[in-house]
Structure 1
Amino acid sequence: MEMQQPTSHELLALAGEIDNHAPVQAVGSIVVEAPVDRVWVVLSDVTNWPAIRADINTVSRAEAAAPGGVFTWRTGEVVVTSRFAIVDPERRLTWTTTAPGLAAVHVYAFELLGPALTRISAAESMDGPIVAAVQLNNSQLAERIQSWLIGIKNFAERP
């Protein structure tokens, strides 16, 4: 069986970088009043995602987050496939997302600020014909990232 070469987006995710040439890019961060291990679990366990953001309908995965691990999820009517790249518990989590006409890179960093205080930072890039077709821009992606981070915060801060 022939091994498939990584795509440019997968190489970026493996390097912990977004695509700086993509037409849509955004960053965001938020401070969460929860220990870093709790914040890590909230994001790295993709089955939590529908509780984090209402537009994520379903997520399927076979195992825990691991480099090369593949999972599918649905946002609205769009089914996407994601692949973990860097899985460095409580420090960094990166993955790629693909769908027809879409390639995205997601880079998340975790910073311990105190025993129960964590900063989570996100950087994302999106490219492909679908980005232009839906007229997605940097500020819209920044809003989505912020809503995502708020969802992570709300979930992680629950008793």
Structure 2
Amino acid sequence: MLKRLLYRGPSMEVLHEEYAKKGRLDERAPLSGAYEIRIEAPLERVWTLLSEPANWPSIDPAIHGVTVESSSGGAEVDARFTWVNGRNRIRSRFAVIDPGKELVWTGLAAGAKAVHRHVLEATDDGATLVRTEESMGGPLLVLFFSDAKLHRVLEKWLKGLKKAAEV
């Protein structure tokens, strides 16, 4: 329990380069979760919502203040972006962008370090399967966050993506 409580994990640079860019989560992180959903919308629509952070408030109204430091304003490998989710300001960086297939970023908020990964797959009948997974680590994080809460956050995120894409 003490290891989980005091876990610092790799530096953000190592987490970004050695984990996220390789499509890996931090398997030693004290918190992790995953969720998968079927979205009755074409892959291209789902990808556009997901890969352009300016769209994220349409997925989750708690998200605001999104700014992306990239030439396109969208997802580019190593582009930094900041966003606010509820009251938490998150400093993030895109790690993997494989259009229509995979989107991965790292993030830091209040000492918590995360890797967030999305994998998309088109179905034969025109729908899209999306799986999201995340690992989180940081000292004392387990005192106010849990795997169950992370699972609920991921579920809410994908249900919001589904709702936005199916409009």
> TM-score normalised to the size of structure 1?
0.90
1:37-81 residue CA offsets vs partner (Å, 9 max, x unmatched)? 111111111011111112212211132211001110011222111
SS at match of 2:33: strand
- Counterparts of 1:1-159 in structure 2, within 5 Å, are 7-10=13-16, 11-62=18-69, 63-129=73-139, 131-134=141-144, 136-158=145-167
Measure the CA separation in 1 of the matches of 2:138 and 2:121: 31
Counterpart residue identity of residue 15, structure 2: H
CA distance in 2, matches of 1:45, 1:114: 25
Shift of 1:6: 6.5
Q: Which runs of 5+ in 1 are unaligned?
A: none
CA contact (8 A) 2:51 2:75 kept: yes
- Whether contact under 8 Å (2:119, 2:131) holds in the other structure is yes
Q: Is the 8 A contact 1:50 1:58 kept in 2?
A: no
**Contact 1:73–1:80 (CA<8 Å) still a contact in 2?**
yes
Gaps of 5+ in 2: 1-10
How many residue pairs get aligned? The number is 153
2:31–2:142: 8 Å Cα contact kept in structure 1?
Answer: no
Q: Is the 8 A contact 1:13 1:94 kept in 2?
A: yes
In the alignment, the residues of structure 2 paired with residue 51 and residue 35 of structure 1 have an alpha-carbon distance, to the nearest angstrom, of: 17
How high is the sequence identity, in percent, across the aligned residues?
A: 35
**Match for 1:24: what amino acid?**
L
Deviations 1:127-154 (A, max 9, x none): 11252342x1111101110000000000
* CA distance in structure 2 between the partners assigned to 1:154 and 1:106 by the alignment: 20
Q: Which amino acid aligns with 2:81?
A: F
Scaled by the length of structure 2, the TM-score of the pair is 0.86
Please state whether the residue corresponding to 2:61 is helix, strand or coil. Answer: coil
Stretches of 4+ aligned residues off by more than 6 angstroms:
none
Distance 1:58 1:115, change over 3 A: farther
Counterparts in 2 of 1:146 and 1:53: CA distance versus 1, 3 Å = same
Measured on the aligned residues, the alpha-carbon RMSD in Å equals 1.5
CA distance change for structure 1 residues 40 and 52 in 2, over 3 Å: closer, same or farther? same
